[in-house]
Amino acid sequence: MDFKDTVLGIEFGSTRIKAQLLGRDHMPLASGSFEWENQLVNGMWTYSMDYIHQGLRECFADLKKDVYEKTGQKFTTTGAIGVSAMMHGYLPFDKDEKLLAEFRTWRNTCTEESADKLSELFNFNIPQRWSIAHLYQAILNKEDHVPSIAHLSTLAGYIHRRFTGKHVMGIGEASGVFPIDSSKMSYDEFMLDKFDELIKPFGLPWKIRDILPGILMAGEIGGYLTKEGALLLDPTGEFEAGIPVAPCEGDAGTGMVATNAVRERTGNVSAGTSTFAMIVADHPLGVHKEVGMVTTPSGLPVAMVHCSNCTSDINAWVNVFEEFANALGADIPKGDLYTLLFKKALEGDPSCGGLLSYNYYSGEAILSINEGRPLFVRTPDSEFTLANFMRMHLQSALATLKYGLDILRDEEHIKVDRITGHGGFFKTEGVGQRILSAAIGAPISVMETAGEGGPYGMALLCAYMLWKDKDERLEDYLDKKVFSETKVNSLMADESDIKGFNEFSSRYVKAMGLETLASEVTG
């Protein structure tokens, strides 16, 4: 086959680095992956640079192997390549490309002071995970590295720079670095000036415009794969340089693309290690700490409710059940165990029989919880069954998200024509979909690609860059050329499911002090 008629998307997720190769018909041809996990080092959630490089190479090697097994050909080139990653975080570099501080991921909740001050200054919500919040917190902390910063980036921006030599990123990814003015498709000039004025007393040798990445729109060419970039990806030297590279994007942007949710009044919910909802707004919104304003890869404003915790606590409990099964001599594949337990949850009481849990492995910034303490709580008269236990964990995984989405519905009166779910939470057919529908009281659609959205979405952005018609908008390209025949399953929860989730949510919010107390008493 001619690999010039393929596109490759790579995404650095929280627990896996994934690659997906698509053909000219936008259908998957091959894939690769590398499992990894963040580390808590000196109180900071991070991934080392060596680990990042190792993961990229092993993921790509796994892809090459899959291509060869399916085609009998060596994978040496592609029509275009693009990289995506977990949004936000902090990667400051000096003029010699030296990383000046450990990579601080989206998961850290150490920037409350700076986020609050910037939000007040800009009259615009700056979440703790945003790059500008991390930068200003480092300034407030008087960290030694700050004067030496030559450019500030994210994980996706870093890999894109290593691929192309260019300090640029897609507008959706950039919108999690610094606020965007969607009328001009650039950083907000007023806020840039405000920030420079704010940090003037610190006497830094740079201004904010000097260190921020340049902004590109979906469909533009973000550079070309250099020889050094090709070797970073494939140390064997078999993969060719010179390949067009799409503007890098964050996992929020690739999730919107993968679910065809880039048009006004569409939305998606990504649910995996973290969970976030993205609603493309059709009118200006007020300022809420629970809602961040970002953009689609084509620059339209998006209301984002981002929760740092989703499936980690579920995964921990499934591991316990797996250990128990093994102790009994039962060899149950992990995937089958997830399916069994997720389906069991639908047999549970919609309000979870009085059981309650908090899934906070890490802090949850939108609720001002700075440290995570996973909790399971019950009263003596709770209905403690396996079905209720599993349903409680699934509803706990979405309870914080519901809190933010209720604000958009009740206070901002935001309208949505279609919400699509994707991510690991939706792999078991009908279960996560029904629980999410109960949480927000609206129908939820799931596509055939629900389990693996990120690299697929990035590959579609590469396809749009290569194969769009002149002046064709991203939303039209996706509607007409990618998803026109895609199978979509929509589901609406029963009234009893919705009522039960509301009862659970009320109990969840009322008992929130337990989570704060747990952090205080356990140190």
pLDDT of residue 366: 80
Q: Are 368 and 308 in contact (CB under 8 A)?
A: no
Q: How far is CA 92 from CA 132, 138, 153, in A?
A: 11, 10, 6
Model confidence at 451: pLDDT above 80: no
- What is the C-alpha to C-alpha distance for residues 233 and 350, in angstroms, rounded to an integer? 48
DSSP, collapsed to helix, strand or coil, labels residue 269 as strand
**Surface-to-core class of residue 376, CB atoms within 10 Å of its CB (0-12 exposed, 13-18 middle, 19+ buried):** middle
- Let me know how long the chain is: 523
| Geometric angle at alpha carbon 368, from 362 and 370, rounded to 5° | 35
User: Exposure string (b/e) for 32-49, b if CB count within 10 Å is 16 or more?
Assistant: bbbebebeeeeebbbbee
Residues paired with residue 424 on neighbouring β-strands, in sequence order: none
The arithmetic mean of pLDDT across residues 424-451, rounded, is 87
Q: How confident is the model at residue 452 (pLDDT cuts 50, 70, 90)?
A: low
The per-residue pLDDT for range 152-172, each reduced to its tens digit, is 999 999 999 999 999 999 999
Model confidence at 74: pLDDT above 90: yes
Q: Are 490 and 445 in contact (CB under 8 A)?
A: yes
- What is the C-alpha to C-alpha distance for residues 82 and 80, in angstroms, rounded to an integer? 7
The per-residue pLDDT for range 351-378, each reduced to its tens digit, is 999 999 999 988 887 888 888 899 999 9
The arithmetic mean of pLDDT across residues 36-51, rounded, is 92
DSSP, collapsed to helix, strand or coil, labels residue 68 as helix
Model confidence at 107: pLDDT above 90: no
Q: Are 176 and 131 in contact (CB under 8 A)?
A: yes
The per-residue pLDDT for range 321-360, each reduced to its tens digit, is 999 999 999 999 999 999 999 999 999 999 999 999 999 9
pLDDT of residue 198: 98
Measure CA of the first residue to CA of the last residue in the chain; give whole Å: 59
Q: How confident is the model at residue 447 (pLDDT cuts 50, 70, 90)?
A: confident
Backbone angles phi, psi at 133, to 5 degrees: -70, -40
Listed by start position, the domains of the chain span 312-363+373-411+428-443+493-522
Assigned token pair, 79: 């029509």
- What is the C-alpha to C-alpha distance for residues 300 and 302, in angstroms, rounded to an integer? 6
Q: Which of 23-27, 39-43, 259-263 has the lowest mean pLDDT?
A: 39-43
Closest CA to 194 of 96, 118, 81, 112: 118
Assigned token pair, 265: 């009044």
The per-residue pLDDT for range 418-435, each reduced to its tens digit, is 899 988 899 899 999 999
Average pLDDT, the chain: 94
DSSP 275: E
- What is the C-alpha to C-alpha distance for residues 118 and 147, in angstroms, rounded to an integer? 20
Provide the CATH topology of domain 312-363+373-411+428-443+493-522.
Answer: Nucleotidyltransferase; domain 5 (3.30.420)
Q: Are 274 and 306 in contact (CB under 8 A)?
A: yes
pLDDT of residue 365: 78
The per-residue pLDDT for range 475-503, each reduced to its tens digit, is 999 999 999 988 889 999 999 999 999 99
The arithmetic mean of pLDDT across residues 414-421, rounded, is 90
pLDDT of residue 449: 56
